[in-house]
């Protein structure tokens, strides 16, 4: 696969994240006009609500009359393929240049879909080993189930926000190891988690498990995801039933949903198994993707420093495996469910996808290029995730996930 050319000039570049090969889906607004569905092409957005009204795009039923992709998502893979074919024809060289385009620079982006439920996994082995080593020592780093189950927990859909949304530092209960009693106040160990998010397009019925192959076909697309985490709140609350308020204040996602069709040339297998998976979790074909990822950190008013660089292909479990496991008990999966991959870290220190790992629990502070020293995130800091699959003379970009930390609020009396 090489760069496909478009009549939109800015799409024909090796540098744009959004060439014709990509066609990622988002929701945007301009000024005070209502939000609507769009597809990114170069530095422009094709207004799909308008394109559908004009008949430039035509599906079995109206898909773009609401500011969310859920309706199209529920229509299933055949309609997804049909839409992509129509968009490719429309935006290719020789396509209809009357298609309604808006400059991305003029648009505000919104959550691209209504999040039904949000699940976060713990499926990166390097991350699990790092965290496990810190908390339980290298001998007991991986929990006994880890090589058999893509460990996950249910998160909070109401906390999912689009890139650019400020993140308010959470309050919570924490307890110092030597304290008699816990105390309540702003988190002092605020962190990121570099993740990919998989979005369920077509759902499954309660009581009806699905295979890994079926799961792969149900995934509508992928986003970058930052699962903001308050490590001190998490440490005190998470036993015995898992993370709760430590991860309920914000999870940021990229505004553009990149489809499996765009990522097809970048499919790769999960790594070799250390222990055979049970048959219901085995991958019938490559279901992970080669996507370069990086994280930057910028103190208020200062330039950003790259603090981590890794790749989605580091994961031990693919999103399809996670989704099949999620439905294995008969749990119904719904259009709009969001599955976080779990923190993505690689074997090198520079590949660690959280500050917890990068600063080894705060013991090894980072010095930024601008001279500031950080263990965890301070008020005013801006954290940015970026990701792109790199092809031959083109890339499939995800855009950015940006978030700036605002001070904690005073608690109501």
Instruction: Read off the tokens for 337.
Output: 């469910």
Separation of alpha carbons 88 and 103, rounded Å: 19
Instruction: With CA atoms as reference, report the closest residue to 85 among 122, 127, 51, 57.
Output: 57
Is residue 111 within 8 Å of residue 161, measured between CB atoms?
yes
Give CA–CA dist 94/39, Å, rounded: 18
Residue closer to a second copy, measured from CB, 36 or 326: 326
Cβ atoms within 10 A of the Cβ of 185, count?
12
CA pair distance 132, 269, nearest whole angstrom: 25
CB of 341 to a second copy, least distance (A): 14
Least Å distance between CB 185 and a second copy?
10
Q: Which is nearer to a second copy, 159 or 354 (CB)?
A: 159
Using the minimum distance from each CB to a second copy, give the nearer residue, 182 or 303: 182
Taking Cα atoms as reference points, which of 123, 13, 18, 70 lies closest to residue 387?
18
In angstroms, the Cα distances linking 37 to 49, 73, 97, 195 are 6, 12, 19, 24
Shortest spacing between CB 201 and a second copy, in angstroms: 15
| Shortest separation between residue 302's beta carbon and a second copy, angstroms | 25
The answer to whether residues 383 and 191 touch, using CB atoms and an 8 Å cutoff, is no
Residue 42 or 172: the one with the smaller Cβ distance to a second copy is 172
What is the pairing mode between strands 101-103 and 373-374? unpaired
Q: Point out the catalytic residue in the list 126, 127, 325, 326.
A: 127
Minimum Å gap between C-beta 164 and a second copy is 14
Is 127 noted as a catalytic residue in this protein? yes
Q: Give me 165's structure tokens.
A: 């949304």
Residue 79 in contact with residue 217, Cβ under 8 Å? Answer: no
CB of 340 to a second copy, least distance (A): 12
Helix (H) or strand (E) holding 339: strand 338-340
Return the bridge partners of 298, or none. 382
By beta-carbon proximity to a second copy, the closer residue of 234 and 359 is 234
Q: Which is nearer to a second copy, 189 or 326 (CB)?
A: 326
Residues that bind a second copy (CB under 8 A): 116-117, 122, 143-145, 148-149, 151-159, 161, 168, 170-173, 175, 181-184, 206-211, 214, 230, 233, 236-246, 248-250, 275-276, 278-280, 325-326, 328-334, 409, 411-413
Active-site amino acid positions: 127
């Amino acid at each position: 696969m090489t760069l496909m050319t478009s009549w939109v000039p800015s799409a024909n570049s090796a540098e744009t994240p959004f060439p014709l090969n990509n066609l990622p889906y988002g929701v945007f607004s301009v000024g005070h006009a209502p939000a609507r569905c769009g597809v990114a092409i170069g530095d422009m957005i094709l207004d799909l609500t308008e394109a559908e009204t004009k008949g430039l795009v035509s599906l079995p039923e109206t898909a773009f009359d609401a500011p969310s992709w859920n309706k199209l998502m529920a229509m299933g893979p055949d309609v997804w393929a049909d839409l992509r074919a129509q968009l490719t024809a429309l935006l290719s060289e020789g396509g209809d240049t009357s298609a309604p385009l808006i400059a991305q620079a003029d648009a505000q982006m919104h959550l691209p879909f209504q999040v039904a439920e949000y699940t976060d996994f713990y499926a990166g082995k390097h991350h699990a080993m790092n965290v496990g080593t810190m908390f339980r020592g290298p001998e007991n780093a991986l929990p006994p189930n880890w090589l058999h189950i893509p460990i996950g927990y249910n998160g909070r859909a109401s906390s999912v926000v689009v890139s650019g949304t400020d993140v308010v530092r959470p309050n919570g209960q924490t307890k110092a190891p030597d304290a008699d009693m816990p105390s309540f106040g702003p988190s002092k160990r605020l962190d990121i988690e570099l993740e990919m998010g998989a979005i369920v397009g077509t759902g499954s019925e309660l009581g009806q498990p699905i295979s890994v192959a079926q799961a792969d076909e149900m995934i509508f697309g992928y986003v970058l995801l930052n699962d903001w985490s308050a490590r001190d709140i998490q440490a005190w609350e998470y036993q015995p039933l898992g993370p709760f308020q430590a991860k309920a204040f914000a999870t940021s996602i990229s505004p553009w949903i990149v489809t499996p069709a765009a990522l097809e040339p970048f499919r790769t297998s999960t790594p070799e198994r250390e222990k055979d998976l049970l048959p219901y979790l085995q991958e019938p074909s490559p279901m992970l993707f080669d996507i370069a990822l990086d994280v930057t950190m910028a103190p208020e008013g200062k330039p950003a420093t790259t603090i981590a660089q890794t790749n989605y292909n580091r994961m031990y479990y693919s999103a399809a495996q996670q989704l099949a496991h999620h439905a294995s008990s008969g749990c119904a999966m719904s259009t709009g469910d969001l599955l976080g991959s779990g923190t993505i870290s690689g074997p090198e220190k520079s590949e660690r996808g959280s500050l917890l790992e990068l600063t080894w629990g705060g013991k090894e502070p980072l010095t930024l290029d601008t001279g500031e020293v950080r263990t965890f995130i301070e008020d005013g800091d801006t954290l940015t995730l970026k990701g792109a699959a790199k092809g031959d003379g083109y890339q499939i970009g995800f855009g950015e996930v940006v978030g700036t930390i605002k001070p904690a609020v005073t608690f109501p009396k």
